[in-house]
């Protein structure tokens, strides 16, 4: 099992390497475990909202017969948030600026997931 410090190191590396604005790992209840955030974001708010987004999205996908959620991409006027499950018990949120390519952001999510192997 990786420690919160190791998780933070992985998040830091992936965020910096991909020009992202941040990444947060939370438990399924929305409590932050580790993060690396550049800028003025509230880790607690991101963690709580991401857990709720994942829970609701997964429930609705299953009800529609589409299986379990792989990720949710949210595009705003000034950037993206991608929310994805990390194993059975955790949630990953990656925040990216407007000029990011969605493919790069999704690759960063997969990279974090692979490195944490939860």
- What is the pTM for the complete model shown? 0.93
Domain 4-116 part of CATH 3.30.450.30? yes
Which pLDDT tens digit goes with each residue over 90-102? 999 999 999 999 9
* Confidence band of 118 (pLDDT split at 50, 70, 90): low
b/e map of 48-69 (b: 16 or more CB within 10 Å)?
bbbbebbbeebeeeeeeeeeeb
Binning pLDDT at 50, 70 and 90, where does residue 1 land? confident
């Amino acid at each position: 099992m990786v420690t919160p410090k190791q998780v933070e190191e992985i998040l830091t590396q992936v965020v910096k390497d991909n020009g992202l604005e941040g990444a947060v790992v939370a438990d399924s209840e929305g409590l932050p475990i580790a993060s690396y955030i550049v800028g003025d974001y509230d880790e607690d708010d991101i963690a709580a909202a991401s857990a709720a987004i994942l829970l609701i999205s997964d429930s609705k996908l299953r009800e529609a017969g589409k299986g379990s959620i792989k990720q949710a991409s949210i595009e705003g006027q000034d950037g993206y948030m991608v929310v994805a499950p990390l194993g059975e018990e955790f949630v990953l949120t990656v925040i990216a600026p407007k000029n990011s390519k969605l493919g790069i952001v999704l690759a960063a999510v997969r990279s974090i997931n692979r490195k944490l192997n939860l």
